[in-house]
């Protein structure tokens, strides 16, 4: 320690103490949030748990335990915990029937839309798109109830295990379809209607990442019955993709599209007359 600048160490210790006194989150918050999520998934879908519920009273008792556990989880936010934790927990538990109903509609919609799916059970157990939607719908309700941090922990957990990044603030109706899903990004102020299908690599993003825009609608609106194929990028809070439209793969959309539109990039095939290509792209990987 003699070789280290003592003043530098003192300043570091002072800064560290200050940060630890003003930022209350501890290491258990993320772990406990994911454990609560997994317990909720086990409860909502028998596909993930061996637990047997014999009657309605068993279900009601489990709901009471879920409420108690949510209160304990929110308390881990310490100084950031909202004052009305009991009210938040009551409201969240009261929303579970709606979440459950929407998720079964989502699973059925994915099954009906994917010829490779052999059953709804296969969708629930094995499809990352369904898992991302499931976690989003739980996180979204907590987001609406003004619970800080925890909703984002949940959707980032979904991002890690599925490759699909849905901000908990996005508004997504049901049924909703994600096929494959890897690389999908859905921003905070995105609005998505019913019967919308997204393929892998789709970005519903903002035109600018300026912090001053945090309170504005920055992400697009997708109306009902729209299909957006892989790698399409749709940007901007004023951009509206009209009902029953199709956005082709690799499209770049920054302005509104009227209902019943088709947007696509047409591939061009030219037969070369010599061995040398004209205007070839020189690139490396």
For CA atoms 157, 30, 46, 63, give the dihedral sign: negative
User: Tens digits of per-residue pLDDT, 170-204?
Assistant: 999 999 999 989 999 999 999 999 999 999 999 99
DSSP state of 267: P
CA atoms within a 13 Å half-sphere pointing along the CA-CB vector of 188: 11
CA distances to 65, 88, 206, 251, 254 from 218, rounded to whole Å, are 38, 28, 5, 19, 12
Among residues 260, 194, 197, 207, the alpha carbon closest in space to that of 238 is found at 207
| DSSP characters over 190-234 | -EE-TTEEE-TT-EEE-S---GGGTTS--S-EE-TT-EE-TT-EE
Percent of the chain surpassing pLDDT 70: 95
Angstrom distance (rounded) from CA 184 to CA 163: 7
Residue pLDDT, tens place only, 165-177: 999 999 999 999 9
Crossing angle (nearest 10°) for helices 85-113 and 128-144 = 150
The pLDDT assigned to 134 comes to 98
Kindly tell me if the per-residue pLDDT of 275 is higher than 70: no
pLDDT digits (tens, 9 = 90+) for 5-20: 889 899 999 999 988 8
Q: Which has more pLDDT, 215 or 73? A: 73
**pTM for the full model?**
0.89
């Amino acid at each position: 320690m003699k070789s280290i600048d003592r003043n530098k160490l003192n300043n570091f210790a002072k800064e560290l103490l200050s940060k630890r006194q003003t930022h209350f989150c501890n290491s258990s918050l993320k772990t406990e949030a994911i454990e609560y999520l997994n317990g909720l998934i086990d409860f909502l879908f028998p596909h993930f748990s061996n637990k047997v519920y014999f009657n309605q009273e068993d279900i009601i008792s489990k709901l009471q335990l879920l409420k108690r556990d949510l209160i304990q989880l929110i308390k881990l936010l310490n100084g950031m915990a909202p004052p009305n934790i009991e009210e938040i927990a009551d409201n969240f538990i009261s929303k579970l029937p709606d979440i459950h109903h929407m998720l079964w509609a989502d699973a059925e919609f994915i099954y009906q839309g994917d010829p490779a799916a052999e059953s709804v059970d296969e969708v629930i157990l094995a499809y990352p798109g369904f898992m991302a939607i499931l976690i989003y719908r739980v996180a979204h309700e907590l987001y609406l109830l003004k619970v800080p941090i925890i909703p984002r922990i949940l959707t980032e957990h979904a991002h890690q295990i599925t490759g699909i990044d849905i901000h908990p603030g996005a508004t997504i109706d049901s049924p909703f379809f994600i096929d494959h899903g890897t690389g999908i990004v859905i921003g905070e102020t995105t609005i998505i209607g019913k019967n919308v299908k997204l393929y892998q690599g789709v970005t519903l993003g903002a035109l600018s990442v300026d912090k001053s825009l945090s309170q504005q609608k920055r992400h697009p609106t997708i109306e009902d019955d729209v299909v957006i194929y892989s790698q399409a990028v749709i940007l901007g809070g004023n951009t509206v993709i009209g009902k029953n439209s199709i956005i082709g793969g690799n499209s770049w959309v920054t302005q509104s599209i009227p209902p019943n539109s088709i947007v696509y990039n047409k591939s061009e095939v030219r037969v070369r007359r010599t061995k040398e290509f004209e205007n070839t792209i020189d690139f490396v990987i």
